[in-house]
Structure 1
């Protein structure tokens, strides 16, 4: 098992590259094309690497998992930075496939646990929910400045429909999350933490399925909540967060805000930071990180949150 294979995913095609013999092949991104791709990959493969491309990679991921082919799904921005680091400035489907194959071999990427079909469905529902939230915000902004009666009527009707659509998606998310006992147990553990509701717990598990399977530093880093040192020679800059999953941080913002009011430990920590002269947004970021670390630790030990003893 020495082959590392890179696959560039697009809406119509899948461009594949093998490291052992440098072979390249292109397949249609449909069920028939993916079956042909699996035959081309064979069974002596160490890792298949592809970029996360939303709906376009879903069929590939499910077929690879179904065939027990080890794979790693990488962030497109990280893949592009790797290409720049090795001097690959050109960007074509064929070049990207070769670059992804090399990335898997050079960085020794670890295979990922395949997502269940239910998790794929929940991701799609969550994406639709976030789009509706954006529509809701835009409609409210337009309504605040609308002066024509017919426009106001249309916007009010649209806002009512958006609320109904969001409620429908929320119900679907709850139903899907309850089908898998393991997933449902994780939701219950996260929802036991003051400040985290059921839907927020589901969102965290969708955005960060790795949670509970890593150490606390890795969890904070993956969310982009780990402070990064800024220094060079005698110059010492401020530590700041960067990178990570922006949607995950957005999902943690309100729970952290609520936790500073209802969770005694978080309230105490937040007040300590404010009294130490930290800005409110810095203190709240620290609470977000603490909340995520707590969630990761509870999931790792498979136990509910309990109030700390005084």
Structure 2
């Protein structure tokens, strides 16, 4: 009986121009260019046998590495920077350089790999819709800054109006592309179902729809946790503080859900629920978060069952919200 070879744990620190790759916690570190050509060439040099590859998720700089590793058939573990920073402190690593971070990632994958899930690529439509939503949000924020900064500047009113009009048209074009992508992916029915919920507009519905089709969620709780709207318990001794949100999901989706909750809190359907949260001692923000979670649960149920939204008055809060 032959023994199974031990897996090789590889840690990769990602920057815009280069990748620092550590073969194990104490292994050698090599640097390659962060380009698809260099990454594919490096993958061809890897030894045969089980490989567990980890890298830090850094905006868009890790995308070429992510796609190449998954296409090569190797499990990839994406680690967010906050978690890696806390792990660095917990292991008493005082210095921070790219090679040290690469070895730290290799150590993290080796020690915590049994509790991690390999990353899976989302559907292309999900990636595209999320990308468009983020770009539109950036455009709108920039337009607001320009409007506030230039509205009282004498001699440029015509130019400012023209610039803001162009930004508004571009935002509308992006929103139209989002709808077209949903139609092309046969998700438009789910988009309409979500829009039936009070407070949920086209953008919030698109975010919910794209997230739902990201993967097969076992339950509404799993969906809520993926959105980062799950509550982390804070209890020690006799202290039992009110929990905080994990905020592990896409912040743009949470922002859109918060806006949807603000609109829904004024509707006849959801106003009693919002007021019940306030009566329990919730702040306005906490009540809106609870309402956003409730809306996300309803949207998940509609898309899961393929049913149509039936408005009803929600008066009471519950443990799940």
Is the shorter-chain TM-score for this pair beyond 0.5, marking a shared fold? yes
50 and 193 in structure 1: CA distance in 2 versus 1, 3 angstrom threshold = farther
How far apart, in 2, do the equivalents of 1:23 and 1:76 lie?
Answer: 23
The match for 2:283 is 279
The match for 1:48 is 53
Within a 5 Å distance, the mapping from 1:1-310 to structure 2 comes to 2-19=7-24, 22-108=27-113, 109-144=116-151, 146-148=152-154, 150-181=155-186, 187-204=191-208, 213-241=217-245, 243-245=247-249, 246-262=251-267, 264=269, 266-299=270-303, 301-307=304-310
RMSD: 3.0
243 and 86 in structure 1: CA distance in 2 versus 1, 3 angstrom threshold = farther
SS of the equivalent of 1:292 reads helix
295 and 88 in structure 1: CA distance in 2 versus 1, 3 angstrom threshold = farther
Q: Please tell me whether the aligned partners of residues 49 and 104 of structure 1 are also in contact (alpha carbons under 8 angstroms).
A: yes
Extract unaligned runs of 5+ from structure 2: 1-5, 314-321
116 and 221 in structure 1: CA distance in 2 versus 1, 3 angstrom threshold = closer
Aligned residues: 305
- Give the TM-score, by structure 2 length: 0.81
How far apart, in 2, do the equivalents of 1:188 and 1:38 lie?
Answer: 44
1:82 Cα shift?
1.3
Higher helix fraction: Structure 1 or Structure 2? 1
Q: Please tell me whether the aligned partners of residues 7 and 17 of structure 1 are also in contact (alpha carbons under 8 angstroms).
A: yes
Extract unaligned runs of 5+ from structure 1: none
Q: Deviations over 1:53-88 (max 9, x none)?
A: 222112122222222222122211111111221122
How far apart, in 1, do the equivalents of 2:56 and 2:296 lie?
Answer: 26
1:307 Cα shift?
2.0
- Give the TM-score, by structure 1 length: 0.84
